[in-house]
Structure 1
Amino acid sequence: MSDPALTGIRVLDLSRVLAGPSCTQTLADLGAEVWKIENPVNGDDTRSWMPPELDGESTYFMCCNRSKKSVAIDLKSFEGQETLRRLAAKADILVENFRNGALAAFGLDPETLAKINPRLIYCSISGYGRTGPRADEGGYDFTIQAESGLMAITGDPDGEPMKLGVAISDLVTGMNAVQAILAALIARERTGRGQHLDIALFDSAVALLANVASGYLQTGQQSPRYGNAHATVVPYQLFDTADGTLALACGNDAQFRALCTMVLDLPDLPNDPRYTRNRDRVNNRQTLIPLLENAFRLQNTEEWLGKLKGAKVPGGKVRTISEVFSAPDVLERGMVIDVPDTLHGTLSLIRSPLRFSDTKVRTPAPPPRLGEHTDEVLEWLESEDTDSK
């Protein structure tokens, strides 16, 4: 296989916590060299986010900083600011999530750095964007989920609005930032110029409303919460079995017919005009779902899953996290990898989900200790500056 796709690309990472670091971690997975710039005293905020921890190190920090080089630099010092400008002159990409205007005070804003390096792709990640009435506000996933409408459509119909179990607005913003950066790299091949990217958690979360947003914008109707059911597809929800719970995703009329005739032994249901088409099932879910619930309670989860698989009807067990990481499908896809680590001996890390037929994805390296690569990177910078004179 060829080298990773972003081999030779250098990333100056001035971001902290999750959205920015998850973006730059993906760039590292794709082969880029990522210089993670950290405050020499405490480093990234998530280094102190524990428990859980491993021998005093935050497992949260580990989730989004694999394969990076940590460079400890004091941005408040003149020397640190000058070093950052020198690094920016050699970088292809800069990612930051500072408060609006903060980096301008250090001479590290997009306009200043574009004069030093016109090819630099400068990606700003923020709560509400770099323009607009809320540009100066900080953004956190929990409040973004609330304000974007995501919480309003998540949770039990009669319960309170609910957030997702992970910081989804941070993570999807990181993904959007990666897409924007890769597109900017392609554009740079045509124009020879970098550009400033403005990626906001709030924008990303609102875009996640997807079909819910489209439904409202076209009809003016607000979507209620459906719990684990689906607003426009039925049956598409959890069902209790004799010994547990399974997730059923019956996505079309043919699958519903197979479910009734080949799995549940309810052959009359697909011929009932209340349930024949998905549209009908959505409108009559109140009478259909109890019939299916009664049927699913008669056998164990594994028995049902075997029948669903045989009928080619999508279904799955509701797994615990421990069950996920012992599951054959996770293991066979190589989603977990043990990597050597100087402190812990080995670390178990998630592998990138990206797969290529030619350009390989980097084998993960452990998340760095604070300032671990400062001397290495600064010595390289000195040699580069010397060679360019």
Structure 2
Amino acid sequence: VAETSGEIRRGIENVEHACGIPTLMMGETLEDVARGVDCETVRQPLGVFAGITPYNFPVMIPMWFWPYAVATGNTFVLKPSEQDPLTHQRIVELAVEAGLPSGVLNVVHGDATAADAILEHPDVSGVSFVGSSAVARLVYAKAGQTGKRVQALGGAKNHMVVLPDADLDLATDAAISSVFGSAGQRCLANSVLVGVGEAYDRVKMQLLEGANSLRVGYGLDEDTFMGPVISRRHRDRVIDLIDQGEREGADVALDGRGFQVDGYPEGHWVGPTVLEGVEPGMSVGQEEVFGPVLGLARAESVEDAIALMHEVAYGNATSIFTRSGRAAREFRYHAGISMIGVNIGVAAPMACFPFGGSRASFYGDLKAQGKDAIEFFTDKRVVISRW
């Protein structure tokens, strides 16, 4: 319930930011660029944009896109996930009740067939996508073939680096919230914790104690910390990755396989899971699990931790926990990751800043939210006048 409340607040934050469009959309003017000649830029809408969004955060993620598209003068077609299609349908109904004209914000339900129709339609000027990196690459390529603008946000394998001088209580709480909140089904989950030097054993002990005490159960119970994963198929995929990690040499320090909740025998349960000795060459060290699975890894220095991160194809987010300003500063320059948290577990930018990764986590030029959103949904027209 707390996660959902936070998601709704984050979505509303984007609407509030988009309401500042008179300032955000302002152009620029320079007089007398030559004798009697003035030059100015204006922003104009491009027409129809579309969004293809995933099942996780079904309120917030579409609101990374459509408030900015609509505020800049475009219409928008949303294709939400077929696994939870009604959530944003209700948001659109509320927007219409609030006065949004009919036909400005639209919802199309369906699977990949509907997504392909959006990508192929000649009237769609641009597409915003959030999902796996494999699909993000396909969306990026297909949209590019038809000349559409595209911002395709893909998957993640985020690392949290904990130094010996860190506040271990803060780091432990942040790690648990990051990877087990939303049952690990979010692109900002720090699914690998890298303990540097003597920090490893201490943070490992606290993590196991904290993860083992989490309440897993029905998601609408106020005291539930973690609910089920989205489907039986996804539960089986998460468990298969745990099995594969164990076969590849990881030690299962806390096992969530076979987890059950009294009264809900058909629930898609995976309990909090901690794997020790995770390396980049392992499936659980390289692939996005998208479930409540935390990998533990050792490093002897910050440089070694960064090198370990760079062995993974993704570049969505990362965090460092330290009391050293020097270490934090060096980390932010050398991490090579787009969203960086310093003593922050979930490095989620506010709506006025861009959201999106790098490397295999993002395909496109302009990211979600912030100034990038205004750039993405408008065309800059240059007017040169002589009087």
TM-score by length of 2: 0.30
TM-score by length of 1: 0.30
More strand by share: 2
